Structure 1
Amino acid sequence: MKKRIIGMSAMGVVCLMTAVGCGQAGANGKAISTTSQSASGPHVGGSISISPQESGPWADVFNPYSPNGNTSDISKVIYEPLVEWDSNTGMSKAWLAKSWTWSDGNKVLTVHLRPGVKWSNGKKFTSADVVFTYNMLKKYPALDSNGLWSFMKSISAKGPDTVQVVLKQPNSTFFYYFSGVPIVSTFQFQGVNPLTFQDQQPIGTGPYMLQTFNSQQITLTRNPHYWQPGKPYLQTVNYPAETSNDSTILGLESGQIQWASIFSPSLETSYVKKDPTANHFNDGQAPAFDSLYVNLHSYPLNMPEVRQAISVALDRSKLSKIGESGYASPVSSLDGIPDSLASQWGTTSLNKMFPATYNTSKAKNMLLKAGFKMSGSKMMTPQGKPFTINMIVPAPFTDYVTLSNQIASMLGQIGITVNQQSISSSQYADDMAKGNFQMGVYWTPTGPNPFFVLNGLMNTQYGGPIGSTALGSNYGRFANDQVQKLAQQFEGTENASTQKTIIDEMATIYAEQLPVIPLLNSDTTDEYSSKTIGGWPTKQNPYWDTNSYGGPVVVLTQLYQK
């Protein structure tokens, strides 16, 4: 499909509640190894072409906070966070921050910045830039997508390389949200409106800086002031403007693209088998879902029993086989707990109570019991009108197009008419975020435990009024007072048993209400070639996931021309 672009919605709770920062260790405590340099290995020079997302012509907008900017994979190469997170594995890696400590009962966070970091124009990076960035989020709440300032009391510089954050109260979900924010410079963003600023000449701390732009290709070049000595190795990084999965596949097959994240039903035969020693296909499973989002302000989708009936009408095994070629497995339960996390966080009783079953007759009877009626082959609402749903479909994403077609056909079997509207990927993302839809397939937040999925989909903090851009993934605008209370309780405790109990309660609400209908466990499909590029993660050296939701920077700084 594409590199999934998901806002910060996960953290390793263990990092917040320890006395010292996680440093180079992952959230699971394992050390992160890096590619070593040898005489015949890493050296400066060469280039790579990457297709992170099929988005059509590029926009001349590099502001990492602009809603109209390019894919965040590009901005993340220019603008860096304090900590890099591999969302697929739970690993963390100290980045602009070299370490961090907690004090005063986990209410005061002290971040020690990496010394000697410079912006790509040679100016010194300091704590003032970090403080400015977070205060900018406070001044412009629309940028504060994870509600950091609902947790924070203050942020201040304690010297050029130290930042101190004071929280209103201890919060077990704060650190990931905080540490993943892209840091911008005071000298460039001061005095501009970050909501509208295009940033056509971006200046970041990242390994690359803008060399040339046109709507068909963005080219980045090495940042000569980069803080990692000798890195990056590759001289240039090219981002061709791909318009569809098919065009990206052709680029991979011809060798014009060396790294991509797209879906194709025939990657093994069309790509890997053409050069098995050089062409690689990474099919992982993220702790997230491909789901059917519904607008909870649209009748009759606002009725829980209707959403339950729609869920029962969907053959998830068929969706997996036809829509995702089996790469994304069907969800086993409606409790909102990804299968990859179920062994630790799932509950057998919830799985038995809320299985993801498929039964067309049952689905139809559920609607009839709720007051709907059949007129010939058409399902009629209790008001006597045809049950019709308008479904938006992202044209460039061939797997989501197929899933949408299958869903429309399955709902047609119970008399629901689904009108599909094919739109661009950028329009699709905008319509979903603003609630300008009735139904559409989309991905969910991700994280090392189910709270980040459940809370991201149900907390009103991540929704907002219809027409305004949601600050998270509550696109359907679900609202439930008990969810809000449970979220506060989870954020206020570090006790694992208490957190598990809270997640059970949230999962029960989710399964009963189905604010978002889970379909498949999200796969993280990506492709890359080692024919001319070295330094990729391997089974022997799995230093990072090539398709982490956190972004490509950790891998990109290791790659080199053979």
Structure 2
Amino acid sequence: MGALAKAVTPKSGGTLIIGLKGDPQSFNPDSGSDDYALPINSNVFNALVSMTMDMDIVPDLAQSWDFSEDGKSITFHLAENVKWHDGTPFTSADVKWTYDTIKAEKGVASNNLASIKEVLTPDDNTVVINLEYPDSGIMGFLAWYGIFIMPKHIYEGTDWLTNPANMNPIGTGPFKFENFTSGVAVTLVKNEDYWGEGPYLDKLIFQIIPDDQTEYQAWQNGEIDIMGSFIPGVDHDKYINNPEYTTRFNLYANRTYFTFNFKEGPFADVRMRKAFNLALDRDEIYEKGIKGNGAKAEYYISPLFTWALNEDAKIPAQNIEEARKLVEECGYTADANGIYITAEIDVFSGFEDALVVAQANLKEAGIDLKINTLEYSAWVEKVKKDHNFHVTMLAGYQGPDIGGIRHRIHSSGGNNMGFYNSPRIDELLHEGVLSGDLDVRAPIYKEIQAIISEDLPMVFTNENGTLFTVRNNIKNLPAGDTEARNLVRSGNYSLTWIDD
């Protein structure tokens, strides 16, 4: 912990091994949501701009940019002499093709790019984005998720969902794809012709270890360098102020929550969602479920946006008695064991501990929640594509701008799994980005929180955070107190090096 690490001369060479919780489904970085592919894509591809760990916007393929006076046009000046991994020159045409395709093909970030009217390319090194209206969140969205610039010459005229490059990606990033063995690892190698600073490492290996305890043991044994999960809170004191390790606590605008099928099933009734919300003991989830990492959820929007928090619409404390009354109002009668209803939750791995706590809480309220754990690809098919579920559990980033919540609650949001639809929410989400003045925006997002508290499209359990911990020989990681923290996106290892 402590002050930002001072600059030292990096050393070249070495392999960094990073834990990964499951198999990536595709290395197409923009077509869909795939958190297992994101760490790989963050090193194979570049975006127009990037967002640091502290949510600052920094240059990437665009080295500088200018806004028009009315806020409806942005001119980006691109880095020169950038090449794709196959040697083809990168140009502004790749940027235009990427954004046009995300919008046309309903890529994962399409809703976030709704304000874009057109993308112009005056020359190979200039991109002009004209907006339908001023959008205070647009720069954050261009730096965030599902917006990596893709190679036009590889994808144009093909189905971007089935293009062979989806499993053999070609980017402009600091590392090149080498191979992927399902259930084992993804390997990237140094891009010797990288246009930016670095990379210093020879190789990145993303080792697939689904089980948290197995991964933690592998990290303790020195078999991996960085974990994809987190150190249990009970072990934090082993590493804080330990001279062999560097630590930093990071709290993210990333939240874990339950969401529901709004069209059919028991939780289509808002009273059942309210009962679900009241049944949860978030203190217990924090202590036993996430083991002291992060924070318990108290608001209906990320607490990092302090200027917009609605103190009159906070998440209620556990109230089993009131929860049971609401279930009875829905017409259910308790059996001899006090159970009113049995429902199923479809999840993929990663939520086990928190879900077991929530399951016990819900049983007290007479809701017997049966856990159906699926492989991620099967979960995508059942929940995201077919919408064949009662309830599911997710975690995800709800930034970088406060308007990032639209991805999950707007009627056309890419992660609105249950088809929640509130015309007023849609209207407010649009109003919320028209001004950059926080005094103007705050009342809008406070009203959004009030509506969420009544409709409950999401029932939040906790804020996600980790005690980032790494051995001292691993230098300049973006999650630590380092120079890289202010220069590259989280998970980009272009500036990282190993001191042997």
C-alpha displacement of 1:501:
1.0
2:86 alignment partner, SS class: coil
**Cα displacement string for residues 473-521 of structure 1 (whole angstroms, at most 9, x for unaligned residues):** 2112110111111112112233322211111111110011111111112
Q: Which amino acid aligns with 1:445?
A: Y
C-alpha displacement of 1:94:
0.5
Report the counterpart of residue 475 of structure 1 in structure 2. Answer: 417
The separation in 2 between residues aligned to 1:261 and 1:222, in whole angstroms, is 21
Pairwise mapping of residues 167-316 of structure 1 onto structure 2 (< 5 A)?
167-180=131-144, 181-199=147-165, 200-215=167-182, 216-229=184-197, 231-265=198-232, 268=235, 272=239, 276-316=242-282
C-alpha displacement of 1:306:
1.5
The separation in 2 between residues aligned to 1:243 and 1:448, in whole angstroms, is 27
Matching of residue 558 in structure 1 with residue 496 in structure 2: yes
Report the counterpart of residue 152 of structure 1 in structure 2. Answer: 116
**Cα displacement string for residues 97-138 of structure 1 (whole angstroms, at most 9, x for unaligned residues):** 011111151112111101222222333211121122222224
Matching of residue 49 in structure 1 with residue 17 in structure 2: yes
1:45 alignment partner, SS class: coil
The separation in 2 between residues aligned to 1:33 and 1:283, in whole angstroms, is 14
The separation in 1 between residues aligned to 2:5 and 2:117, in whole angstroms, is 37
The separation in 2 between residues aligned to 1:314 and 1:494, in whole angstroms, is 36
Which of residues 393, 404, 416 in structure 1 aligns to 2:367?
416
C-alpha displacement of 1:185:
1.6
Q: Which amino acid aligns with 2:95?
A: V
2:441 alignment partner, SS class: helix
Report the counterpart of residue 83 of structure 1 in structure 2. Answer: 49
**Cα displacement string for residues 153-184 of structure 1 (whole angstroms, at most 9, x for unaligned residues):** 22121111101112222222222223441111
Which of residues 492, 498, 501 in structure 1 aligns to 2:440?
498
The separation in 2 between residues aligned to 1:483 and 1:540, in whole angstroms, is 38
Matching of residue 357 in structure 1 with residue 298 in structure 2: no
Report the counterpart of residue 463 of structure 2 in structure 1. Answer: 521
Matching of residue 127 in structure 1 with residue 68 in structure 2: no
Which shows bigger deviation, 498-507 or 214-223? Answer: 214-223
Q: Which amino acid aligns with 1:498?
A: V
Which of residues 346, 354, 374 in structure 1 aligns to 2:334?
374
C-alpha displacement of 1:150:
3.2
C-alpha displacement of 1:279:
3.4
Report the counterpart of residue 344 of structure 2 in structure 1. Answer: 390
Q: Which amino acid aligns with 1:168?
A: E
Report the counterpart of residue 476 of structure 2 in structure 1. Answer: 535
Q: Which amino acid aligns with 1:558?
A: T
Report the counterpart of residue 460 of structure 1 in structure 2. Answer: 411
The separation in 2 between residues aligned to 1:183 and 1:33, in whole angstroms, is 31
C-alpha displacement of 1:233:
0.6
C-alpha displacement of 1:68:
9.1
1:486 alignment partner, SS class: helix
C-alpha displacement of 1:405:
1.7
- Whether contact under 8 Å (2:282, 2:297) holds in the other structure is yes
Gaps of 5+ in 2: none
Report the counterpart of residue 96 of structure 1 in structure 2. Answer: 61
Report the counterpart of residue 441 of structure 1 in structure 2. Answer: 393
- Whether contact under 8 Å (1:47, 1:561) holds in the other structure is no
Distance 1:526 1:476, change over 3 A: farther
The separation in 1 between residues aligned to 2:379 and 2:478, in whole angstroms, is 33
The separation in 2 between residues aligned to 1:80 and 1:496, in whole angstroms, is 30
Matching of residue 341 in structure 1 with residue 280 in structure 2: no
Distance 1:443 1:68, change over 3 A: closer
- Whether contact under 8 Å (1:233, 1:559) holds in the other structure is yes
- Whether contact under 8 Å (1:535, 1:559) holds in the other structure is yes
Distance 1:430 1:121, change over 3 A: same
The separation in 2 between residues aligned to 1:448 and 1:204, in whole angstroms, is 24
Which shows bigger deviation, 237-246 or 318-327? Answer: 237-246
| TM-score, length-scaled by structure 1 | 0.80
Q: Which amino acid aligns with 1:346?
A: L
Matching of residue 451 in structure 1 with residue 403 in structure 2: yes
Which shows bigger deviation, 142-151 or 232-241? Answer: 142-151
The separation in 2 between residues aligned to 1:247 and 1:445, in whole angstroms, is 26
**Cα displacement string for residues 71-120 of structure 1 (whole angstroms, at most 9, x for unaligned residues):** 1110121111011102x422121111011111151112111101222222
- Whether contact under 8 Å (1:34, 1:543) holds in the other structure is no
Matching of residue 321 in structure 1 with residue 259 in structure 2: no
Distance 1:178 1:332, change over 3 A: closer
Q: Which amino acid aligns with 2:195?
A: W
The separation in 2 between residues aligned to 1:34 and 1:133, in whole angstroms, is 36
The separation in 2 between residues aligned to 1:439 and 1:545, in whole angstroms, is 38
- Whether contact under 8 Å (1:292, 1:517) holds in the other structure is yes
Q: Which amino acid aligns with 2:310?
A: T
- Whether contact under 8 Å (1:33, 1:543) holds in the other structure is no
C-alpha displacement of 1:312:
1.1
Distance 1:264 1:367, change over 3 A: same
Report the counterpart of residue 23 of structure 1 in structure 2. Answer: none
The separation in 1 between residues aligned to 2:38 and 2:481, in whole angstroms, is 29
The separation in 2 between residues aligned to 1:437 and 1:449, in whole angstroms, is 30
The separation in 2 between residues aligned to 1:430 and 1:279, in whole angstroms, is 41
Aligned residues: 492
Distance 1:525 1:390, change over 3 A: farther
Gaps of 5+ in 1: 1-31, 381-386, 463-470
| TM-score, length-scaled by structure 2 | 0.90
The separation in 2 between residues aligned to 1:252 and 1:135, in whole angstroms, is 42
The separation in 1 between residues aligned to 2:480 and 2:223, in whole angstroms, is 26
Distance 1:217 1:391, change over 3 A: same
